[in-house]
Amino acid sequence: MVLPRFSLLLGLLMLGQQMQAATSLLRGPYLQSATPTSMVIRWRTDYSEPSLIRYGPAADQLTFSATAAGVHTEHVVQLSRLTPDTRYYYAIGLPGKVALEPGPLLGGTHSFVTPPVAGPAKPTRVWVLGDPGTKNATQMAVRDAYTAFTAQRGTDLWLMLGDNAYPDGTDADYQKAVFDMYPEYLRTIPLWPALGNHDARTASSLTQSGVYYSIFTLPTRGQSGGVASGTEAYYAFDHANIHFVCLDSHDSDRSASGAMMQWLKADLSNTTRDWIIAYFHHPTYTKGTHDSDSDKDSEGRMNDMRAIFLPVLESLGVDLVLTGHSHVYERSMLLDGHYGKSPTFDATRHVKQAGDGREGGGGVYRKPRVRTSHAGEVSIVTGSAGHASSKPVALNHPAMVVSLNEAGSSIIDINGLRLDFTFLNEKGEKRDWFTLLKE
């Protein structure tokens, strides 16, 4: 009788431990792959649990639920059949004592707004962070400066331009540099990231594996707008009258005949949106902490993006090119056709419109309302959301009209056929701005 009594006591002890142990939220929730009618919500728990989201039209009316099969610590749930441009409240649900009975909520109640139907214009604000993941006081100051700036307006979506978590893009790096740094933004606003060289230290675009690819859920089937890419390394999405294209400048094939190039041509040829914004990590032009004239710098990736991809982007109507990598802020005039190194830059041939692009200054930049090949684009390096350079930098690329060695982030406001761009430093000072109009 000793063995059965021992087994009974052991079983009771284990049951007591399980009853006392409470599931804790380790990460998230965070929003991914937004569409006008769906939203992916992800989170991490310390114990394996069923994946359940309860949601509804008000914080006290979480009358709907969505689940994913199995039990997990890494949870991925898609809410479907949502109404476009509508606020939903949601909470993570735990299982009840009886099967199918709603259990307690975990981590409080949050909300998000679904994107509007793609096509018609709607005022949109985009927050842009290049190289943010330093985990330091500068990163926090940049975040807080933007939070104060946008307090009355809110944010519709945000972009990370790579090197999101230093130094190696590990899971622990991401926890401190992203999930602990931006919890309120992550659970209320969809995040659209790009891969940087530091992220790629623990991730592979070829195999779609590693930390970056395990953390993010990105559209591979064109479900958020655009042509299906078949990979999370590069993808497209729509928001109102804006088409966004994210390229992988670090790890994917950058040749003119490669899969990424073939996809890019197909995607941009098929979009009918008013605005095209391309973003990736390695700049086409920079004289900051990296030098786009150097064949050795970044193993030629900057040269590839300028000489191979920029001609296609410009021929298919791109309006803005956003990059990071160089820990400075540099902004060009309205340009077209400069695919060589800086000594070959010729303002008479490569500048579509000179000046600072400001009302009351050199005059706003203007492009045709109908998409026109080689009508010009503005290239922006905004890679100082985590820190600026601590060493002297040249900042003398002739394509640039503004160059600053300052930490900060960028804001894009689009209202119909008007685009306003702002660079805000870590002190909350508006250090650059311009307007681009479609006529």
**β-bridge mates for residue 191, sequence order:** 158
Question: In this structure, are 156 and 274 located in the same domain?
Answer: yes
**β-bridge mates for residue 74, sequence order:** 44
User: Closest Cα to residue 192, out of 78, 77, 35, 313?
Assistant: 35
The confidence score (pLDDT) of residue 105 equals 85
Question: In this structure, are 105 and 129 located in the same domain?
Answer: no
The answer to the question of residue 12 being in a domain is no
Outline where DSSP puts E strands in 315-438: 320-323, 329-332, 334-335, 351-353, 365-367, 378-382, 400-404, 408-415, 418-425, 430-438
Give the residues of the chain that fall short of pLDDT 50.
1-20, 99
The answer to the question of residue 104 being in a domain is yes
Question: In this structure, are 297 and 317 located in the same domain?
Answer: yes
User: Closest Cα to residue 357, out of 276, 315, 419, 408?
Assistant: 419
Question: In this structure, are 253 and 315 located in the same domain?
Answer: yes
The answer to the question of residue 5 being in a domain is no
Question: In this structure, are 252 and 275 located in the same domain?
Answer: yes
Task: Judge if pTM exceeds 0.85.
Answer: yes
Beta pairing, strands 378-382 & 418-425: unpaired
Question: In this structure, are 178 and 107 located in the same domain?
Answer: no
Q: Which one of 47, 81, 113 terminates a domain?
A: 113
Whichever domain contains 88, its CATH number is 2.60.40.10
Q: How many domains does the chain fold into?
A: 2
The answer to the question of residue 11 being in a domain is no
Asked if 422 contacts 125 with a C-beta cutoff of 8 angstroms, the reply is no
pLDDT (tens digit, 9 = 90+) per residue, 250-282?
999 999 999 999 999 999 999 999 999 999 999
The answer to the question of residue 96 being in a domain is yes
Question: In this structure, are 94 and 239 located in the same domain?
Answer: no
Question: In this structure, are 107 and 162 located in the same domain?
Answer: no
The confidence score (pLDDT) of residue 11 equals 45
Q: What is the residue range of 46's domain?
A: 23-113
**CA 332 to CA 366: how far, in whole Å?**
14
Question: In this structure, are 104 and 203 located in the same domain?
Answer: no
The confidence score (pLDDT) of residue 19 equals 38
The answer to the question of residue 108 being in a domain is yes
Question: In this structure, are 108 and 134 located in the same domain?
Answer: no
Asked if 51 contacts 94 with a C-beta cutoff of 8 angstroms, the reply is no
The answer to the question of residue 13 being in a domain is no
Q: Which one of 91, 113, 135 terminates a domain?
A: 113
Q: Which one of 89, 113, 137 terminates a domain?
A: 113
Whichever domain contains 199, its CATH number is 3.60.21.10
**β-bridge mates for residue 423, sequence order:** 410, 432
Q: Where are the alpha helices (DSSP H) in 123-225?
A: 137-149, 171-174, 183-188, 211-215
Asked if 234 contacts 199 with a C-beta cutoff of 8 angstroms, the reply is no
**CA 349 to CA 364: how far, in whole Å?**
20
Question: In this structure, are 88 and 176 located in the same domain?
Answer: no
In angstroms, what CA-CA distances link 271 with 237, 244, 257, 311?
Answer: 10, 10, 21, 18
Question: In this structure, are 387 and 339 located in the same domain?
Answer: yes
The confidence score (pLDDT) of residue 145 equals 98
The answer to the question of residue 212 being in a domain is yes
Q: Which amino acid is at 407?
A: A
**CA 250 to CA 280: how far, in whole Å?**
9
Asked if 37 contacts 84 with a C-beta cutoff of 8 angstroms, the reply is yes
330: its two tokens = 């540099």
Report the half-sphere exposure of 73 (CA within 13 A, side-chain side): 7
